[in-house]
Amino acid sequence: MPAVYEQFGVRFLYPENWEVLDEETDDWPRTVTLQSRETGFWTLQVYPPNQDARKAVLAVVESIREVYPDLEVLPAKETIADAEAKGVDIAFFYLDLLVEAKIRCVKTPAGVFLWHYQAESRELDTVEPVFRAIATSLLQTQVPIH
């Protein structure tokens, strides 16, 4: 049975055996991170509706680049719950492991939703459908702006 996260005007479902880690509910962006039982995590950042989505994505990329300077970054977009989510796909090495990350952003009347997920490449095949389901459950309660 999935757990329900409901804070700062967002609601989504997530696996009940995952841990809710960091929450920032006072300042912008509002943030929550879910940790899988393995290496994967999913982070949501909620910005005010007037936030520049592209700048938000670039800020996350730069924060990752500070730790892992040799990032491979490719533009990406996909449709999730009838919304066009724009962002980037990222790959980098940590020790001897290839880590893959995806950052996606969608504007809604409630705010700009940016989610970032990543996992070691061998785990990503298994956990990515779960990450997408979390994002789908988030967007199904919102009305995206096209």
The domain spans of the chain are: 2-139
Least confident of 5-9, 104-108, 131-135: 5-9
Determine the 3-state secondary structure of 143 from DSSP.
coil
Give the pLDDT of residue 144: 52
Under DSSP, the state recorded for 56 is: H
Which residues face 114 on adjacent strands? 45, 105
Residue 146 has pLDDT above 50, yes or no: no
Under DSSP, the state recorded for 69 is: S
Which residues face 80 on adjacent strands? 83
Residue 12 has pLDDT above 60, yes or no: yes
Q: What backbone phi and psi angles, to 5 degrees, belong to 103?
A: -120, 125
Helices then strands, each counted (H, E), the chain: 2, 9
Q: Which CATH architecture has domain 2-139?
A: 3-Layer(aba) Sandwich (3.40)
CB-based contacts of 37, cutoff 8 Å, min separation 6: 17, 18
Q: Quick one: pLDDT band at residue 143, thresholds 50, 70, 90? A: low
CA separation for the pair 64, 52 (Å, rounded): 19
CA separation for the pair 41, 14 (Å, rounded): 11
Report the pLDDT averaged over residues 131-136. 96
